[in-house]
Amino acid sequence: MGERIAVIGAGVIGLSIARELAGREVAGRDITVLHDQDPLETTSAVAGALWFPYAAESSAAVDAMLGTSLRRFVAIAAEHPDAGVDLRSGIVIERMRDPERAWTAQLQASEVDPSELPDGATGLRTITPLATMTEYLPWLRAQCEARGVRFERRAVDDVDALAHDFDTVIVAAGARGGTLLGDDSSVVPIRGQVVRVERRGISEFVLDDQNPAGLVYVLPRRDCVVLGGTHEPGETGLETDPAVEAAIIDRCTALVPALAGARIHSRAVGLRPGRETLRIEEVPGRAMRVVAAYGHGGSGMTLSWGTAQRVVALLD
């Protein structure tokens, strides 16, 4: 019997890892995704899904992962129009005197004319991948299934209890990762609320994560425009707050007036897996081989393929 591998979690990290493992064509490998939520029920489905590092570790290792993911998304956009990934132009607004621009090493960016920006702000215009998650997550699952990955809806509370069925377990459970392993209390859920509205002809994204009134992003997907958002460490409520929603719409409309009066498409809340550093490593002392893969903050989609590559390298 070959190596039996379980991936816990069907969000963008778990699916990307399963797809990367399945693509290795290692003889005898048997891969199963264990999930208590379908992909479109996960926090990944709530994500704005713009390739941009947000609320995640800053390091040379992560920079390399950013590049890996960017190249993969550019290729997917070119080769798989049904995947829901598009290259979008847009503006990243900066409000700090010395803005962090390390991410620009990965792609081209140019200075924005001050007349297009809020008073006192600087900004960069760039083109970056943006995923319509209602299309991308099902596509990614289908990619896994086409390569023999099985999906099993199963709630997992004890990783070691899987030793009878699996030789290797990869924990890609997002905000639950530390609790599930029982050895990591450093994961802090970061509540994020969004509202999705009709497109209204909006084609460019706007990101203003240093806005003094609160986080702002306007992300035109294929099916809607995602308006955000909030960044609430330690908050775990999953009900949308009407007052918060109204404030999000006001902040976004102030930057993109064309949004005024836009019909609401849907609304959602997700819990980002906040952690000072990513945890991508083998976990010793378990009943089988265990690999942790969580702590991506607000950069799950952005780091997904880089994470998958690192996990596969550990297993290989």
- Rg of the chain over CA atoms, in angstroms? 19
Domain range enclosing 243: 4-315
E strands, the chain, where? 4-8, 30-35, 85-94, 109-111, 122-131, 150-153, 168-171, 188-197, 205-208, 216-220, 225-228, 232-233, 264-274, 279-282, 289-294
For 70-95, the pLDDT digits (tens) are 999 999 999 999 999 999 999 999 99
Q: Are 228 and 192 in contact (CB under 8 A)?
A: yes
Cα–Cα distances in Å, from 74 out to 61, 106, 211?
A: 20, 12, 29
Instruction: Specify the pTM.
Output: 0.96
Closest to 144 in 3D by CA, of 293, 14, 22, 3: 22
Domain count, the chain: 1
Q: How many CB atoms lie within 10 A of CB 148?
A: 11
| Helix runs in the chain, H state only | 12-22, 43-46, 60-79, 133-146, 177-181, 242-255, 300-315
Cα–Cα distance between 177 and 8 in angstroms, integer?
A: 9
- In Å, what is the CA distance from 3 to each residue of 10, 17, 23, 161? 20, 16, 15, 17
Structure-block tokens of residue 37: 């939520």
The pLDDT profile of the chain, 316 residues, written as one tens digit per residue, is 589 999 999 999 999 999 999 988 766 789 999 999 999 999 999 999 999 999 888 888 999 999 999 999 999 999 999 999 999 999 999 999 898 898 999 999 999 999 999 999 999 999 999 999 999 999 999 999 999 999 999 999 999 999 999 999 999 999 999 999 999 999 999 999 999 999 989 999 999 999 999 999 999 999 999 999 999 999 999 999 999 999 999 999 999 999 999 999 999 999 999 999 999 999 999 999 999 999 999 999 999 999 999 999 999 8
Q: What is the CATH number of the domain that holds 48?
A: 3.30.9.10
pLDDT in tens, 194-253: 999 999 899 999 999 999 999 999 999 999 999 999 999 999 999 999 999 999 999 999
Q: Give the count of alpha carbons within 13 A of 298, CB side only.
A: 20
